[in-house]
Amino acid sequence: MIKTHTLVFREVVHRRKTSALFSALVAVIIATVTFFSVNRSGYEKEMTRSARDIGSNVVILPAQVDQLSYHTNGGYTSETMDESVLQQLVEYRASLNHLIPMLEIQTQVGFADKQRPARLVGISASVPMPGRPKSPMQRAIAKQQVQLGSELAEALGIQRDDKAAVTIEGQSLQVARVNRSNGTWQDAAVLMDLPLAQEIFNKPNQLSRIEAIECTSEECARTGLKADVVLSNELARITDQAVLLRRDQMADARFSIRSLNRTNSLVIQNSLWIMLTLAIVAMTSWNALQRRNEMGVLQAIGYGSAQLMFLLVGRSVLLTLAGAVVGGVGGALLSYWMSVGAFQVTGNRFAIDWSQPLTIVLVSVLLAALAACLPALFSATRLPADSIGKEC
């Protein structure tokens, strides 16, 4: 009598067309599920990054700032606060992230024989809150270099590709780049390294403001509290040197994007797993039930119920595994290929999380084994006379 595991392989080879079709269908199903699962991860990162790039929705200002004057002057104040406020926010782990400290000063920028008024902004790389995402929102500007707003550069006669140096407070600084127009005051600003700005204008350890992104929207939506109240109460417990300004429309827009993205991703994920389960169970059950005639013949020549169970389940698992591996790898690579071009912000850093295809493959094999068990048990425990000659 041929050993059961040998019989499994012989049957696959003997019915190679049917076996190939079964594995091909599994591969298509798994590739589809894997494609959308891998793509969903990239989509979530893209949406999160896009929402983050809307800009900071919280501004920490010196406590003595008159907000009417602040807004009248286009979001500018000459008041400053100590840099220790930033460290206190980090140590307290306030409900903020991507804190960007700034020192702003009205000054003159010179180039050749031209002098133009400008809003100088000393800016540091964004400071992440411990335990929260650390992908930088703002990168540091190299010392002795500046970035010019598009309107300021045009007024000075500096083109985007020019290698120029400007003069600020008697210091010559290299223009690292001319920023593209964004329709805000930044078009008339000059950006430089924060410590350098503090040194040039003799304002050691002083900040004009700290911009940040709030991390309270989801919690406030659930509890019914207002985010500005939560953040103001936190800030009052941390320091008396600063006050908080929340940009409500920007904060609400970010929350709406994140909420919609989360809901949409959950629907897609659940739909994919339901599709995977139904497809694998249906195909595997049908494959096992159509073997009832063969089970009767094998029983008649001496194979026991346990051996027949192993034969049916083993065949289903083997064919599902073959198709799932091909589909999982193919779907992941196809998703990678499309996502790199589709996601404009994060596409060049898109990477496949291979734990997702691996999970889908393992779940598929498990579903195939479970789905084959009941019809296999039914076929293997029937009398040979009841199975031989019966049509599925």
Q: Domain total for the chain? A: 2
Distances (CA, A) of 256 to 44, 214, 220: 14, 14, 13
Q: What would the pLDDT profile of 352-379 be if each residue is shown by its tens digit?
A: 788 888 998 998 888 888 877 766 666 5
Domain end (from 221, 246, 271): 246
Answer yes or no: do 70 and 188 share one domain: yes
225 CB contacts (<8 Å, ≥6 apart)? Answer: 219
In a domain, 314, yes or no: yes
Q: What would the pLDDT profile of 122-162 be if each residue is shown by its tens digit?
A: 999 888 888 766 667 778 899 889 999 999 999 999 988 88
pLDDT in the model for residue 123: 94
In a domain, 117, yes or no: yes
How far apart CA 51 and CA 39 sit, in angstroms, is 18
Answer yes or no: do 240 and 270 share one domain: no
Q: What percent of the chain has pLDDT over 90?
A: 25
Domain end (from 206, 223, 246): 246
Q: Which residues pair with 58 in a beta bridge?
A: 212, 246
Q: Which residues pair with 60 in a beta bridge?
A: 210, 244
Q: Which domain holds residue 194?
A: 58-246
pLDDT band at 385 (very low <50, low <70, confident <90, very high): very low
Distances (CA, A) of 381 to 3, 298, 317, 370, 391: 19, 12, 20, 17, 17
Which range among 63-67, 85-89, 312-316 shows the weakest confidence by mean pLDDT? 312-316
Answer yes or no: do 115 and 152 share one domain: yes
How far apart CA 361 and CA 325 sit, in angstroms, is 6
**Mean pLDDT along residues 53-80:** 87
Tokens 């991507």 correspond to 98
In a domain, 116, yes or no: yes
Answer yes or no: do 21 and 95 share one domain: no
Q: What would the pLDDT profile of 226-268 be if each residue is shown by its tens digit?
A: 677 778 888 888 888 999 888 877 777 777 777 777 777 778 7
Which is nearest to 295 in space by CA: 388, 392, 391? 388
Domain end (from 220, 246, 272): 246
In a domain, 360, yes or no: yes
In a domain, 251, yes or no: no
Contact (Cβ atoms closer than 8 angstroms) between residue 219 and residue 173: no
How far apart CA 148 and CA 187 sit, in angstroms, is 8
Answer yes or no: do 30 and 148 share one domain: no
Answer yes or no: do 103 and 216 share one domain: yes
In a domain, 127, yes or no: yes
Q: CA-based diameter of the chain, in Å? A: 106
Answer yes or no: do 78 and 117 share one domain: yes
Provide the 10 A C-beta neighbour count for residue 293.
15
In a domain, 254, yes or no: no
Provide the 10 A C-beta neighbour count for residue 154.
16
